[in-house]
Structure 1
Amino acid sequence: MTLVVLVFSLALHALTFFVLVRFYSHVQNVKEESRQLHGMREDLEEILRQYTEEIKQENQELKDSLHSYADQNAGSAAAHEAPAPVEKDPQPHAFQKRAEEAVEHAGTKEAEDSFSPPPPPDEDQMETSNQAKVLSLSARGYTRDEIAKELQIGKGEVDLFLKFYLELQ
């Protein structure tokens, strides 16, 4: 009987030792992953900081070029000169290209004054809603029955429209 208890105890000790070793290795893996994630986070923060600084610098350059363009236009309103060339990076970003194109293609004050908008396209006819018609006829002094007959809707609908309108006021 003691032999069975001794074997059982040894088996439990071995199982406990095995579980502790597995737990320890799992904890070590989690710590290593945590260190890696911390390093990746720091790298990402550095990349984002650099990107933000780059964007700020590009914004400042764009702002300076727009100010110089505005000053140049203010100084020579009669002359239609091209804007001063802007320093370009070997590969400027898309938004920087668009901003430079906008500066290059911006018209003078005279061109803006002579602009007339294109004629509006054939506009769709807008219909007044039944609610607006009911309120309009009610304001003119029509009774509930006359409004219902005029608009060919039920008296209950007219009552509802008027009731909701009065509640909103």
Structure 2
Amino acid sequence: MLYILLLLSFIIHIVTFVIIRQLKVKQEALVTIEDNVNQQVKNIEDTLAVYLVEIKEENEKFVKQVEDFSGNNFENNSTSQEQKEVKQPVTELNTSKKTKDYQPITNVEQVEDVVEQSSTAYVLHLHNKGYTVNEIAKKLDKGKTEIELLLKFQQKK
């Protein structure tokens, strides 16, 4: 009897050690996954930081170009007037071609919007007036069971 108890004890110990080993392997796998995720988060943060710095530099360059352009705009006022004079004849030619094809919009009679009821709304309207299911089905050329189902669904709502 003592040998059986010792054998049983050894089997239980072996099973316990196997279970503990499996749990340790799973825990190590989770730690590895967590480290990978943390590394990916760090890489993404670094990438976004670099991207933001690039955007900031481009924005500063753009602001500088706008300031330079606006500064040059006041100094070169006379040259811009000459450029406008050169561009005007070209636009006049283009507009003359457009006016030949252009036809002004005539006054359109105002049409009132027509609101059509859905078949469901019409069925409910007739049912509320007191029509029976058979009368509604005949009037709308639909099946009796279709009307009954429609009314049942609407009563549940």
- For these two proteins, the number of residue pairs brought into alignment is 102
How many angstroms apart in 2 are the aligned matches of 1:120 and 1:12?
98
How many angstroms apart in 2 are the aligned matches of 1:121 and 1:31?
75
Do the aligned partners of residues 120 and 17 (structure 1) sit closer, same or farther apart at CA in structure 2, a change above 3 Å counting?
farther
Q: Which residue of 2 aligns with 1:52?
A: 52
Kindly provide the amino acid, as one letter, of the partner of residue 9 in structure 2: S
> Is there any run of 5+ residues in structure 2 with no aligned partner, and where?
116-157
How many angstroms apart in 2 are the aligned matches of 1:17 and 1:121?
92
Return the offset for 1:67: 1.7
SS in 1 for 2:64: helix
Kindly provide the amino acid, as one letter, of the partner of residue 18 in structure 1: V
How many angstroms apart in 2 are the aligned matches of 1:39 and 1:18?
32
Do the aligned partners of residues 54 and 5 (structure 1) sit closer, same or farther apart at CA in structure 2, a change above 3 Å counting?
same
Kindly provide the amino acid, as one letter, of the partner of residue 17 in structure 1: F
TM-score, structure 2 normalization: 0.51
RMSD, matched Cα = 3.6
Q: Choose between structure 1 and 2 for higher RCO, CA contacts under 8 A separated by at least 6 residues.
A: 1
Larger Rg over CA atoms: 2
Structure 1 or 2: larger helix share? 2
> Is there any run of 5+ residues in structure 1 with no aligned partner, and where?
81-106, 132-169
The ranges of structure 1 where at least 4 consecutive aligned residues each deviate by more than 4 angstroms after the TM superposition are 117-123
Q: Which residue of 1 aligns with 2:73?
A: 73
Do the aligned partners of residues 122 and 28 (structure 1) sit closer, same or farther apart at CA in structure 2, a change above 3 Å counting?
farther
Return the offset for 1:68: 1.1
Kindly provide the amino acid, as one letter, of the partner of residue 53 in structure 1: V
